[in-house]
Amino acid sequence: MPVEFLNDEQAEAYGAFTDVPTRPELERFFFLDEDDRDLIALRRTDTHRLGVAVQICTVRYVGRFLGEDSLAVPWEVVEYLAGQLGIEDASCVKRYPERRSTVYEHAAQIQERFA
């Protein structure tokens, strides 16, 4: 007999941001350590550096990459990461998914590096 583990609302929210992370969650899951920064530093532009940071921390927090919805994160997360990277204009990240293959290439590099 089939058993339903998640209701429709839970299934829809799985692997996604359902709310703005709390300050302790930001500090725990969105702090960029030396390994994170080493991978981020390989990117040439603020857009890509911030995009990679968002991807690293998103997979750490929700447990998966967001793929085509790579920017479906609360703005507070983007600003928190931009602050750590010294990026003054966090809105530059809006250009990150313009080339989808870049998002997927970065996700593969993150997975290879941290798997």
For 63, which DSSP code? S
| 57-99 pLDDT, tens digit each | 999 999 998 887 888 999 999 999 999 999 999 999 999 999 9
pLDDT band for 1, please (50, 70, 90 cuts): low
**28 in a structural domain:** yes
pLDDT at residue 67, rounded to an integer: 81
Lowest mean pLDDT among 2-6, 66-70, 105-109, 110-114: 2-6
User: 3-15 in b/e burial notation, b at 16+ Cβ within 10 A?
Assistant: eeeeeeeeeeeee
Q: Return left, alpha or beta for 62; rule: phi > 0 is left, psi -120 to 50 is alpha, else beta.
A: alpha
Domain that holds residue 65: 20-114
> Which tops the pLDDT comparison, 77 or 3?
77
Tally of domains within the chain:
1
**103 in a structural domain:** yes
Whole-model pTM? 0.87
Q: How many CB atoms lie within 10 A of CB 76?
A: 13
**102 in a structural domain:** yes
Report the distance separating Cα 99 and Cα 41, nearest Å: 20
**15 in a structural domain:** no
pLDDT at residue 69, rounded to an integer: 83
| 13-46 pLDDT, tens digit each | 666 788 899 999 999 999 999 999 999 999 999 9
Report the distance separating Cα 101 and Cα 114, nearest Å: 20
Question: 37 in helix, strand or coil?
Answer: helix
Whether residue 54 contacts residue 17, with contact meaning beta carbons closer than 8 Å, is answered with no
**100 in a structural domain:** yes
